[in-house]
Amino acid sequence: MLLATLQGGPAHGYRIVELLRERSSGTFELAEGTVYPALHRLEREGLLLSRWEVVSGRRRRIYRLSRRGESTLARRRRQWFELADAMKEVLA
Amino acid sequence: MLLATLQGGPAHGYRIVELLRERSSGTFELAEGTVYPALHRLEREGLLLSRWEVVSGRRRRIYRLSRRGESTLARRRRQWFELADAMKEVLA
DNA sequence: GGTTGATACCTCGGAAGCCGAGGTATATGA
DNA sequence: TCATATACCTCGGCTTCCGAGGTATCAACC
């Protein structure tokens, strides 16, 4: 979900949480204690790149997808829909 | 998924794993170390009921949905589809 | 008689993820 | 001055997954 949110363009952690809440119509309310460690993990794995920015006195870490992140997102998106289809069969 | 599998009628653990694999066309391959503790958990929570059976020398624990299990399944099924819809938006 | 494979159950412990709680700091508006 | 929003972070408890290991039965084969 974090990777997908960044496909629309770079964003910082706090903003990613907002975008995710908006785009899911309030369904996904990720806690900060979930998101920040997850972003660090994704960067360590080479799927995200980050740079620091200061906007009106406040520092932000801006994340964007790396090339590997993009292809990983594409793969995981396919995996998700496969899982969702299987789930639909199981729940039917 | 375990609750959903049992909606078609009672079954024992080993059989549940098979049914899940069949109904998901091979997508869900749950390990025994996952399933047996999960079934115990669901029974402890009052969502499943079990009885022992012996078929040609082999003992089986047959599980079935309790009334609470049925209503919980209905609720979680709705929650799942809500999540899947939100996910679709996020991935779009 | 012994071996293999399928059936059928179980527990244990490492690894990973979620998130509430707590902490730091800045800008804005009442 | 105080609250609220913005913006980052870590820590530790809790839960779940599952590989590994264990037990036991039955059928088929050599």
- pLDDT tens digits for range A23-55: 999 999 999 999 999 999 999 999 999 999 999
The spacing between the Cα labelled CA in B54 and the C1' in C2, in angstroms, equals: 27
pLDDT at B85: 97
B8 touches chain A (CB under 8 A): no
pTM of the predicted structure, to 2 decimals = 0.93
Cα B76 to chain centroid distance, Å, stands at 12
Query: Taking CB atoms and an 8 Å cutoff, what residues of chain A touch B85?
Result: 27
pLDDT tens per residue across span B27-48:
999 999 999 999 999 999 999 9
Decide if B65 contacts B4 (C-beta within 8 A).
no
pLDDT tens per residue across span B59-89:
999 999 999 999 999 999 999 999 999 999 9
Per-residue pLDDT band at B16 (split at 50, 70, 90): very high
Instruction: Report the side by side order of strands in the sheet with B58-65.
Output: B11-12, B58-65, B48-55
How many Å apart are CA A41 and CA A20, to the nearest integer?
18
